[in-house]
Chain A
Amino acid sequence: MLSGLIRGKVALFIKIALIALSTAVLLTLSQSAFAKGEYVIAGFLFIVILLVNYTYFSKRTVPLKFFLPGIILLTAFVLTPILYTLVMSTYNYKTGNYISKEEALGRIQALALEQDEDATAFDIVVGEYQSSPAILVSDINNNAYFISTPEQRIPLDKARVEIDEYQVAQSAEGFTALDSGEISSSDAAKKRYFFDGTYFIVVENLNVGAVFRQSLEYLPEQDVFRSLITGDIYRDNNNGNYVNENNKDDFLEPGWRDPSWFTNYIRLFNDERVRDPLISVFIWTVVFATLTVITQFAFGLLLALALNKPIRGRRFYRSILVLPYAMPSVMSILIWGGMFNTEFGAINEILGRDIAWFQDPTFARVAVILVNLWLGFPYFYLVSSGSLQAIPSELLEAAAIDGANPRQIFRKVTLPLLLQILSPLLIASFAFNFNNFNLIYLLTGGGPRNQLDGEIAGATDILISYTYQIAFGNNLQDLGLASAISVLIFFLVASISLYGVRKSKVLESFS
């Protein structure tokens, strides 16, 4: 039916319509990206437009016609983030060092304020004077009034100012007050208003201005900050901060993300505050993945052996046994989390105990393995029973004729053959559990962890959840370090999986 319709002119029309539509949409997006200053994205979209039109109108790009949509999405949302992560892993990129150097320079200068000795503050009104932002200042102590613009200060005769009962000026000739809406939509409250050359007035809130002076001066030629008060020089330490030449612990906030090349990688091996938790998390990750595969496989195989004969009720058993695997795993994990709850969980109630499952490292680990067993044994039951059927019965009969008992047959014939058939799946399952983020994150959150010590690695944290904590946790966030660990995990998982792929000979089928 469909194939009959999509033919000749209809197909051509649909093709042109689709290309025109996508070109129009992409072009609009590209334009608005360009208008907002997102040049990289605009450029990417523009290249996509060219590629789409070239690919689908040219006759020489047959394979690309099939791949292009997939490749574009892959590049935008998988490849680019991966490359970005790679780049980040060579940066000093953490809490306090998030922004670019230009932004940091601006912020340091904006923050480098020192109030005058008397902490002078005035009642002010924010407004405009001669179409420039201005404030109307009441210096009540000295009984003086003036208007300040960013450039100058205009003294006012008290007689020409309207004053309220508290001696605060409300309006003056030539001065237009702004209401709070107008102020927040303009940058009038962010300006520095002239006071006496050194000092200036900063708008503290809509009615109060305080007198400050700049405490740091930026010297662009040398790329240093000089303290206008002590004369100390703050120099770029090539690691994302300006540091006082005379005192290494005195650095200016905020810092910026700075290329630090392999510092993050070196920290993985040299900095013991990074290395020691990483090693213990790594060990637990391997133990967790290994135990998971062994328990899931053992129970799955036991079931497969038990139900390998057409006994009564086999179909019934089977339909119940796949249920854990059929359930959405997110739901199952959350349900188990509730069952392990200390006060109102079912498990403690059945055991008649008061075990704080997720507060004790050993219990938490047992719980994680148990829940993962529940989630995964049906998978190995299904694949084992499939593979048991694939073992030629002649082999087993031959072994029986040679006088082997059932136990010997299982250990010497069935199990080795099964392991050989299933080894790619066992390796794939190991690799999957090595990165089983959902389970850890949703069940224990990686805990228990000693938060008082500022510990980031919890007892059940596996590498991936630990890295997530480093990057997005509640403590100090260190994206640079997290990215470096991601790259490390990538190499670990890639080598495990490549080993599995070699075994399963998947790649050969593509050549």
Chain B
Amino acid sequence: MTRWLKENLWRHITGVVMCLFALFPLYLVVLSSFNESGSLQVTSFIPKDISFANYKVLFNDERIPYLTWMKNSLMISGFVAIVSVIIGAASAFAFSRLRFKGKRFGIQLLLLIQMFPAILALSALYVIMERVYKFAPGLGIGTQMGLVLVYLGGAMGVNIWLLKGFVDSIPAELDEAAKIDGASAMQTYWQIFVPLAAPVLAVVSLLSFIGTFNEFILARLFLIEVETRTVAVGLQQFIGGQFSENWGPFAAGSIIASIPIVIIFLSLQKYIVSGLTAGSVKG
């Protein structure tokens, strides 16, 4: 018994303390989402009466088009997730398997470009998209399609590191055999690589979904109309006034918005952890 204590007690204490630290804000949000007074306060750690008023506000109040925000977020992130993985997979395949001049230079340039603080190109992006808006009002500043295009601009750089690792893990013998049988690079790509990598591509695309869902600054710059906003921007603007009465609906809203992301994350944990050690940092 004492030996068990000596060996394991500190482990449990550390685990419990850190779990409490991890849970504390999350528990508070859940608590205040069911609390009608709606501030991030602890009236008591055990809820006295559970009220769904904040959730009702979220779905009925006209000032908060929450469902539209959720829909926007899911649509934008979903679209970017799919297209960016298509672009990224093709590039990763080419970088991994094809021989061509300037490959090393290309990958170094890509790495370098990624190091430029993207936020600081904001004003330039704004100017460009303002001009695009003049001749194509569906694509420029203030539109979701414009935002999606800008996100896709980064698609090649962001996913390629993750994908490259996965591509390298697919044995090269397979596509070498295809090559000997007379398959072109395109055929190898579509008939050998894509079917083999399909599960991996799905994972990467879900990661890209999480990343886009989390993006804030560009979405804030682009989505001016309340109806076009993503859930992150919408909720941030909503509590921007710092009125305590808004915290209840905010808490409810952030819980609902987080659920899909947390579920995706937890179900992908295995892949994400192996991706982490390969040198990526989640944004």
Residues of A in contact with B (beta carbons under 8 Å apart)? 2-3, 6-7, 11, 29, 32-33, 35-36, 38, 41, 62-63, 65-67, 69-71, 73-74, 76-82, 84-85, 88, 299, 302-303, 306-307, 309, 311, 313-314, 317, 319-332, 334-336, 338-339, 341, 343-346, 349-350, 374, 377-379, 382-383, 386-387, 424-425, 428-429, 431-432, 435, 437-438, 441-442, 464, 467-468, 471-472, 479, 482-483, 485-486, 489-490, 493-494, 497, 501, 504, 506-507, 509-511
Contact = CB atoms under 8 A, between A and B. Distances in A.
B41 A69 contact: no
Given A2-B194, A468-B122, 17 more contacts: A66-B189, A74-B113, A77-B125, A80-B128, A88-B124, A302-B14, A321-B18, A322-B269, A328-B213, A338-B247, A341-B40, A346-B28, A349-B42, A428-B280, A437-B217, A441-B217, A479-B123
A65 B40 contact: no
Given A77-B150, A338-B247, A428-B279, A328 B116 contact: no
Contacts of B277: 383, 386-387, 425
Contacts of B239: 334, 338
Contacts of A386: 273-274, 276-277
A312 to B, nearest CB: 8
Contact of A489 (B8, B103, B104, B117): B117
Given A67-B90, A81-B125, A472-B123, A341 B242 contact: yes
B42 A350 contact: yes
- Going nearest first, the 8 A-B pairs with the smallest beta carbon separation are A77-B153, A70-B156, A81-B121, A486-B120, A81-B124, A84-B124, A66-B94, A326-B265
Given A35-B135, A82-B116, A425-B279, A339 B28 contact: yes
A510 B103 contact: yes
Contacts of A11: 190
Interface string B114-148: 01111111111101100110111001000000000
A346 B232 contact: no
A328 B214 contact: yes
Contact of A80 (B124, B136, B184, B210): B124
A74 B94 contact: no
Contact of A507 (B14, B29, B108): B108
B50 interface: no
A425 B103 CA distance: 25
Contact of B119 (A84, A387, A468): A468
B262 A435 contact: no
A423 to B, nearest CB: 11
A383 B184 CA distance: 40
Contacts of A319: 266
B236 A486 contact: no
Contact of A334 (B161, B235, B274, B283): B235
Contacts of A350: 42
Nearest to B242: A341
A264 to B, nearest CB: 13
Contacts of B11: 306-307, 309, 311
Interface residues of B, number: 106
A80, A326, A330, A345: residue with the most chain B Cβ atoms closer than 10 Å? A330
A71 B112 contact: no
A327 B258 CA distance: 6
B116, B150, B152, B261: residue with the most chain A Cβ atoms closer than 10 Å? B116
Interface stretch (B19-27, B58-66, B200-208): B19-27
A84 B247 CA distance: 40
Interface string B146-162: 00011011111100010
B25 to A, nearest CB: 5
User: For chain B, what secondary structure do more than half of its interface residues adopt (helix, strand, loop), or is it mixed?
Assistant: helix
B23 A320 contact: yes
Contacts of B164: 509-510
Contacts of A429: 281
Contacts of B185: 62, 65-66
B95 interface: yes
Contacts of B266: 319, 322, 326
B176 interface: no
B276 A379 contact: yes
Contacts of B210: 328
Given A76-B153, A77-B153, A328-B258, A471 B41 contact: no
A78 B258 contact: no
B124 to A, nearest CB: 4
B124, B191, B276: residue with the most chain A Cβ atoms closer than 10 Å? B124
Contacts of B107: 507, 510
Given A299-B18, A387-B277, A344 B104 contact: no
Contacts of A464: 117, 119-120
A394 B71 CA distance: 54
B7 to A, nearest CB: 8
Contacts of A328: 210, 213-214, 232, 254, 257-258, 261
A303 B217 contact: no
Nearest to B247: A338
Contacts of B261: 326-328
Contact of A63 (B25, B98, B116, B150): B98
A331, A341, A510: residue with the most chain B Cβ atoms closer than 10 Å? A331
A350 B156 CA distance: 47
B22 A330 contact: no
A490 B116 contact: yes
A66 B186 CA distance: 9
A299 B12 CA distance: 14
A99 to B, nearest CB: 12
Contacts of A313: 12, 15
A331 B258 contact: yes
A220 B128 CA distance: 32
Given A306-B10, A471-B122, A493-B115, A339 B19 contact: no
